[in-house]
Chains A and B, each alone.
Chain A
Amino acid sequence: MTVFLLLPSLLFLLVVFVGPLFRYAWLSFHADSVMTGLIAIPNGGANWLRLVQDQRYWQDLGQTLRFAGVSVGLELFLALIIALLLDQRWRGRDLVRTLALIPWALPTTVMALGWRWIFNTPYGPIDYFTNLVGIGSLNILGDPNLTWMATVWADVWKTTPFAALILLAGLQTIPVDLYEAVRLEGGNPLICLRRITLPLLRPYILLALLFRLAQAFGVFDLIQVLTGGGPASSTESVALYAYWNALRFLDFGYSSTIIMASFLLISVICLIAWIGLQILIPTHSESRGVIKS
């Protein structure tokens, strides 16, 4: 009986999540492009060999990792501050929390046009301010060294509220007495943070970290509309490269290979992040002993 309840959902999940992975794996060992008349023809590991030698893929991978790493790091940092702020009780808190959620609700492409204007040289407000404080015009969207930072900024703006809410949920599960205990022993807010908040918050930080890392790795909407991958391909991401291979170059075999490789890589990266976080922030029981001593 229960099986029938699960079946429809299971079917959808298999078709949408599991099916594609098998399809990609299969397709990556075939040549399927405009040169084969859009028919799949087995070609052994040729696509994989090409991927290994494809400098552009590795450059895109590096750029994507840089984007994801900096973006997620910045987000978590800001999210923690915001969550701490929202955890306290003050008038208008609920309204501020709602307003702070608005960036997260707006579709990326909708606001990307806005960012194009804000970062515009010479007409945007950022340019106005940099000139005002004497830095001069920065050509943010045209300088390969600066454009990626603009994409990070736009991404942090959108996703920090989400991370903040997750951390806030975690903060609200921490019993107040723990803070009291530390205060009685003469600890200051910083010690509270290090010994209590962060360790107890670790599962939530982990959740936010993994979720955001995986999503940031697949960045697509933002890059396509804000920069188109440029300038000098400095903001191109692996998802964008896979998309172009499929829809611009009509090379489905190679696109599948890129997607498959990226999926494997992000799984490994998430694993590393998970382990890394365990090491970086010891659990509450581990740090308890330190306070006592």
Chain B
Amino acid sequence: MNRRFLIALLLLWSLGPLLWQVYTSFCSDQALIQPFVSNDHRWTLIHYQNVLNANPPFWRYLINSLIVGATSTFLCLVLALPAAYALNRIPRQLSVLTRLALVGAALFPYVLLFLALLELARALNLGNQLLALSLPYAALSQPLAILLLNSAFNDLPPELEDAAKLEGLSLFQRFRWILIPLISPATASTAILVFLFSWNEYPIALTWISDSNKLTLPVAMARIAGSSIYSVPYGAYAAATVLGSIPLVLLVLIFQKPIVSGLTSGAVKG
């Protein structure tokens, strides 16, 4: 089979829908309904204007997602790094069992947790607070994070740490100066994967946040979907889609190496 043809097909399939949205976002409402309107009246920036001038403005959602993403990633790493290290230091039976449990938790369809987490938010008054979202997000990404970081710790030669112990370095110092720097590729991979997860997460953000100023990107898009009072709102939708996609496309392009290595090593060890 012609490889070029397959590659072209792959690119068309992967990028086509998004490119169609880019195209739609610049089309006037008239042009959308009548595909054969002359090119004079076709192009417009009004959809972007509407989306960016909405109340709240679109960039607000991106900032909210950024805040949640950063805090979730930080919290996740703070929890997972020690745990991943400790996983190698507990009795063999226990660690095998724990690893199995973690794999199970990683597979779990977390959307089913929404109700219990909503009750948690009500009980502890965590609703409508962006920083509070990092708590469930960090918890949900623990399984994957621990497994990835643990395999990275495993790859380190044990002599390294023994030598450091002999030098008299405390646990914290060993962490700070030796272990963490050495597994930084794995940490970077884990960080970017957790960050992506929190940008993509929907059900928990939906139930924990209702204030329109605090919405994260996915929830804001869903709300935009239900908001329109026009009969053909798709120009505005397309503009919102493009604006919402840009940060993520940039993330993927910039961090492609850690993402790919994170997923593949996760697969190999998992």
Contact = CB atoms under 8 A, between A and B. Distances in A.
B264 A243 contact: no
Interface string B107-118: 111111111111
B151 to A, nearest CB: 13
Interface in B131-182: 135-136, 138-140, 142-143, 146, 171
B260 A15 contact: no
A13 B105 contact: yes
Interface residues of B, number: 86
A247 B207 CA distance: 9
Given A218-B112, A220-B111, A16 B143 contact: no
Nearest to A101: B252
Contacts of B3: 85, 88, 90
A171 to B, nearest CB: 10
A107 B3 CA distance: 30
Interface string B239-268: 011001100110111001001100111011
Interface string B207-239: 100000000011101101100000010100110
B105 A17 contact: yes
Contacts of B185: none
A224 B17 CA distance: 19
Q: Which of B107, B111, B219 has the most CB of A within 10 A?
A: B111
A102 B20 contact: no
Contacts of A5: 82-83, 85-86
Contact of A224 (B21, B89, B222, B234): B222
Interface residues of A, number: 85
Interface string A72-95: 000000000110010010100010
B24 interface: yes
Nearest to A210: B107
**Which of B14, B87, B89, B138 is packed against the most chain A CB atoms within 10 Å?**
B14
A169 B234 CA distance: 39
Interface string A16-28: 1101100110000
Contacts of B139: 12-13, 15-17
A211 interface: yes
A239 B135 CA distance: 22
A231 B112 CA distance: 24
Contacts, number: 242
A161 interface: yes
Given A9-B82, A161-B14, A204-B267, A107 B252 contact: no
Q: Main secondary structure on chain A at its contact with chain B?
A: helix
B113 A2 contact: no
A108 interface: yes
A204 B270 CA distance: 9
B52 interface: no
B97 interface: no
A36 interface: no
Interface in A221-275: 221, 224-225, 239, 242-243, 246-247, 252, 255-256, 259, 262-263, 266, 270
B54 interface: no
Listed residue (A10, A110, A111, A207) with the most chain B CB atoms within 10 angstroms of its CB:
A110
A215 B196 CA distance: 16
Given A13-B142, A221-B202, A225-B225, A105 B33 contact: no
9 contacts: A2-B89, A8-B82, A85-B7, A102-B14, A109-B221, A110-B245, A115-B17, A128-B35, A211-B107
Interface of B: 3, 6-7, 10-11, 13-15, 17-18, 20-21, 24, 32-33, 35, 78-80, 82-83, 85-87, 89-90, 105-120, 135-136, 138-140, 142-143, 146, 171, 196, 199-200, 202-203, 207, 217-219, 221-222, 224-225, 232, 234, 237-238, 240-241, 244-245, 248-249, 251-253, 256, 259-260, 263-265, 267-268, 270
Given A20-B116, A117-B237, 12 more contacts: A2-B90, A6-B82, A9-B79, A12-B79, A108-B202, A110-B241, A113-B234, A169-B268, A173-B268, A210-B107, A214-B107, A218-B110
Query: What 3 A-B pairs come out closest when comparing CB atoms?
Result: A218-B109, A20-B116, A169-B264
